[in-house]
């Protein structure tokens, strides 16, 4: 069965960095967009960044562009999120996601096929 397992979350100071990892099992990763969403308490789950199925192009939310980087290694069935210059507003549970949506819907949480269990990221002084 399909399983997405995130790791690497934790607590950091503003301006710090974290690298999240996601191991994907049970599906052909080359057929899916792979990336990350996040959810803060009391808020909807929001798009962070994703690597598309064709050509592994990357797409980012405006709030993280220039600070976060999504990468994938299909041979290892791994997806990563490098987060630099973290801000308090980045505090959330981060979810690994696999989507088979059309490219125009790649940022939509409701089009995600499979979710990881989530990992907490806390940014505070």
Give the span between the Cα atoms of 77 and 42, in whole angstroms.
Answer: 32
Edge-to-edge strand order for the sheet containing 78-83?
A: 3-7, 18-25, 78-83, 68-73
- Model pLDDT, residue 54: 74
pLDDT for res 15: 98
Name which of 60, 14, 48, 62 is nearest 116 in CA terms. 48
Query: What confidence score (pLDDT) does residue 55 get?
Result: 75
pLDDT confidence of residue 56: 77
Amino acid 41: pLDDT: 93
Series of mean pLDDT values for 10-residue runs along the chain (125 residues): 97 98 95 97 97 89 98 94 98 97 96 98 97
């Amino acid at each position: 069965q399909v399983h997405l397992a995130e790791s690497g979350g934790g607590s950091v100071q503003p301006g710090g960095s974290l690298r999240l990892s996601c191991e994907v099992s049970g599906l052909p990763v080359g057929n899916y967009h792979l990336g990350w969403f996040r959810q803060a308490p009391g808020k909807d789950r929001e798009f962070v960044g994703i690597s598309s199925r064709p050509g592994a192009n990357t797409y980012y939310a405006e709030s993280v562009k220039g600070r976060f980087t999504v990468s994938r290694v299909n041979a290892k069935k791994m997806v990563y999120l490098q987060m630099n210059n973290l801000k308090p507003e980045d505090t959330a549970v981060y979810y690994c996601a696999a989507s088979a949506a059309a490219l125009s819907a790649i940022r939509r949480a409701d089009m995600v096929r499979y979710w990881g269990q989530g990992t907490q990221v806390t940014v505070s002084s």
